[in-house]
Amino acid sequence: MGACAARPLISLPAPPADPAALLALVRAREEQITTLRARFSAENQRGGETHQANGVLLVKKPDKFRLRMMLPFGLTVFDYVRWGAHTQLALPLEDRIVDGPSTDSGVTFSQRDLGQAFLRGPDAFPGTCVPSSDHAAVTVLCRDASPAPLRRIVINAADATIRTETSYEADTPHLIIRYDDYRPVDGRLLPYHIALEYPEQHLSLQVAVQRYEVNPPLADDLFAPVQPWGAP
């Protein structure tokens, strides 16, 4: 058997020891990514059932992204697009299009959840975010005027990569995102395994990224809705 090819090494400056400086570094690295294209495979588990799909993610900051999921033979089953305040979800197999935020769309992932995961910025770091260190990791708690947390973010102090993010509703974990298998892409570390979990709904989504393109040119028409915004 042939030897496995070693992953390329990446040399980055040592992260700062100060928790506030480390958090600032993480956010600065994210802001350097203005557009993103990612291809992935996903496995969704809910109620004892498992479903698999392939997907493509397009991001154009500050306010555009598209998440499309397809069956292995190419049929689209889920197409979510956001452009500023406009959102649209197309479910072709159900012959259904949901225009704008809806609580009865039958889809767990909300506009806020997807914004936190993909557009980042204030969506991912809401309110006032305060970091603290326990040597191996830096924990960031984000709050508004209420003492209840909005988000809890755990950063690996050794390489300044985010490991977990927990979003809260009424002081209860709503969505947990775990990042693993970081690899170098264009001089930065990006996660190739992402797990999303909704604890109260016993729902999980495992994402295996196959390829990233960082800061590619993305035309606005890639984010055009399936039908005009607000059309009946």
Q: In the prediction, which pLDDT does 39 show?
A: 96
pLDDT score for 217 = 98
Domain annotation covers residue 5:
no
Q: Is residue 26 part of a domain?
A: yes
Residue 188 lies in a domain: yes
Distance from C-alpha of 70 to C-alpha of 72, rounded to nearest angstrom: 6
CA dihedral 58, 86, 168, 202 (to 10 degrees): -70
Query: In terms of DSSP H, where are the helices of 55-122?
Result: 111-114
Give the whole-angstrom CA distance, residue 113 versus residue 181.
22
On whether residue 134 sits in a domain, the answer given is: yes
Q: Got the DSSP string for the chain? A: -PPPPPPPP---PPPPSSHHHHHHHHHHHHHT--EEEEEEEEEEEETTEEEEEEEEEEEETTTEEEEEEE-TTS-EEEEEEEETTEEEEEEGGGTEEEES--TTSS-S--HHHHIIIII-GGGTS-SEEEEEE-SSEEEEEEE-SSSS-SEEEEEETTTTEEEEEEEEETTEEEEEEEEEEEEEETTEEEEEEEEEEEGGGTEEEEEEEEEEEES----GGGG--SS-TT--
pLDDT of residue 11: 60
**For residues 200 and 46, what is the distance between their CA atoms, to the nearest angstrom?**
12
Instruction: Report yes or no on 196 lying in a domain.
Output: yes
Q: Which amino acid, one-letter code, is at 104?
A: D
Q: Residue 146's domain is classified under what CATH number?
A: 2.50.20.10
What pLDDT, on the 0 to 100 scale, is given for residue 199? 87
Domains of the chain: total: 1
* pLDDT lower than 50: segments of the chain: 1-6, 103-106
* Domain around 181: 19-210
Asked if residue 6 belongs to a domain, the reply is: no
Closest CA to 108 of 146, 193, 161, 51: 51
Classify residue 227: in a domain, yes or no: no
35 within a domain of the structure (yes/no):
yes
